[in-house]
């Protein structure tokens, strides 16, 4: 079988493999994900916009795609790298193959290459841009396109994934009345659907608004709480999100309004408070990252997907650190000392991955109910 796909990294490394998915050429920042399962959720996570994802687990595609596990309405990754793609899938929920799913959204995949070598290279040299092609094999042409494509640093990728405003109304108990439920305005910077599901699961009514919605427009809806969602890329490029986070902190000086930040939302709160963020060497991507709760001493195994982090040395005294990453001691959680504002770098909705951190949604609900 002839190799019909190519991957070139920014450092000039060239890998030839077998293609699947769309016959296209795509550029993105290459990152690796350590999760053993959950490729459907990973592919559809808006936080991966602008990135090419490499799966560390070697055998991918064997349970197909069922669409119910999708975290948004489409695939957001630029490309997909696996050691071995399973052409045969078997699962009672499956509706189609991974290959067909990638083709539908124009995403190229490559298999049959040494993924361990690439992971080692990224760990040693840091994240780097890469280009996958299934329709162009001239290395000079591909390298030129690779060099001309800007990095994710400083870019506003949220504007790419942002969707139109929509509301979600679901009832988990037949006797439940809509008016009895507190309302949370989810500010959508690339929100994963499981965040919405779990907010509803704890009994909250959810309204989802675009990431560039002004605070005055949000307040017209009279929400009981606000959630700043996850999203892709560099938080410094999302200037309207930083502005909103700063305004929410100041608003709490006058009126009680609980705020929860997740991943990018956490970083925006950090920037809005006056802290700084920095780019990690190769990011945190996977479903097995240990995080320590500094108050209780408990360890949570968490889901993570981020390339940037809040610098704890720049955090103002009005905030306290609540969680740290045990792998590299980076900041994973914080809260305001006087206001009902808390945020987490990891994903409490745990999809795909462990459910250790779901309690955060109950904690957020308790903050909201305190005002009732």
Residues identified as active-site: 263, 347, 349
Strand 108-111 relative to strand 166-168: parallel, antiparallel, unpaired? unpaired
DSSP per-residue letters across 109-146 = EEESS-HHHHHHHHHHH--EEEEEESS---HHHHHHHH
Q: How far, in Å, CA of 346 to CA of 266, rounded?
A: 9
Q: What b-and-e string marks burial along 310-326, b requiring 16 or more CB atoms within 10 Å of the CB?
A: beeeebeeebeebbbbe
Cis peptide leading into residue 352 (ω within 30°): yes
Q: What are phi and psi of 14, to 5 degrees?
A: -125, 130
Residues β-bridged to residue 319? 336
Q: How far, in Å, CA of 190 to CA of 238, rounded?
A: 12
Q: How far, in Å, CA of 194 to CA of 350, rounded?
A: 8
208, 191 in Cβ contact below 8 A? yes
DSSP per-residue letters across 79-107 = EEE-SEE-SS---TT--B-HHHHHHHTT-
Task: Give the pair of three-digit tokens for residue 350.
Answer: 């745990």
């Amino acid at each position: 079988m002839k190799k019909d796909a190519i991957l070139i990294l920014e450092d000039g490394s060239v890998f030839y493999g077998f293609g699947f998915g769309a016959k296209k050429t795509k550029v993105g920042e290459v990152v690796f994900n350590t999760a053993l399962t959950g490729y459907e959720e990973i592919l559809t996570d808006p936080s991966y916009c602008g990135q090419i994802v490499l799966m560390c687990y070697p055998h991918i595609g064997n349970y197909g795609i069922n669409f119910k596990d999708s975290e948004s309405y489409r695939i957001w990754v630029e490309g997909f790298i696996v050691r071995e793609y399973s052409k045969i899938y078997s699962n009672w929920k499956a509706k189609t193959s991974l290959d067909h799913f990638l083709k539908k959204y124009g995403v190229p995949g490559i298999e049959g290459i040494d993924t361990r070598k690439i992971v080692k290279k990224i760990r040693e040299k840091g994240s780097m841009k890469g280009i996958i092609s299934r329709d162009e094999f001239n290395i000079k042409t591909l390298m030129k396109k690779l060099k001309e494509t800007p990095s994710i640093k400083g870019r506003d990728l949220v504007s790419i994934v942002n969707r139109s405003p929509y509301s979600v109304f679901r009832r988990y108990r037949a006797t439940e009345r809509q008016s009895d439920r507190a309302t949370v305005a989810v500010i959508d910077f690339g929100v994963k659907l499981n965040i919405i599901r779990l907010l509803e699961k704890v009994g909250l009514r959810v309204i989802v608004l675009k990431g560039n919605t002004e605070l005055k427009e949000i307040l017209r809806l009279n929400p009981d709480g606000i959630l700043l969602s996850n999203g892709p890329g560099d938080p410094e490029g999302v200037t309207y999100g930083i502005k909103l986070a700063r305004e929410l902190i100041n608003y709490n000086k006058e009126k009680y309004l609980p705020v929860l930040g997740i991943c990018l939302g956490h970083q925006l709160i950090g920037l809005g408070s006056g802290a700084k963020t920095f780019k990690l060497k190769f990011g945190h991507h996977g479903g097995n990252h240990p995080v320590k709760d500094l108050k209780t001493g408990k360890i949570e195994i968490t889901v993570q997907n981020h390339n940037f982090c809040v610098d704890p040395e720049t955090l103002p005294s009005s905030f306290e650190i609540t969680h740290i990453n045990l792998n590299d001691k980076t900041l994973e959680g914080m809260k305001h000392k006087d206001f009902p504002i808390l945020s987490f770098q990891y994903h409490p909705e745990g999809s795909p991955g462990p459910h250790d951190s779901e309690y955060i949604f109950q904690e957020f609900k308790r903050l909201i109910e305190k005002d009732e």
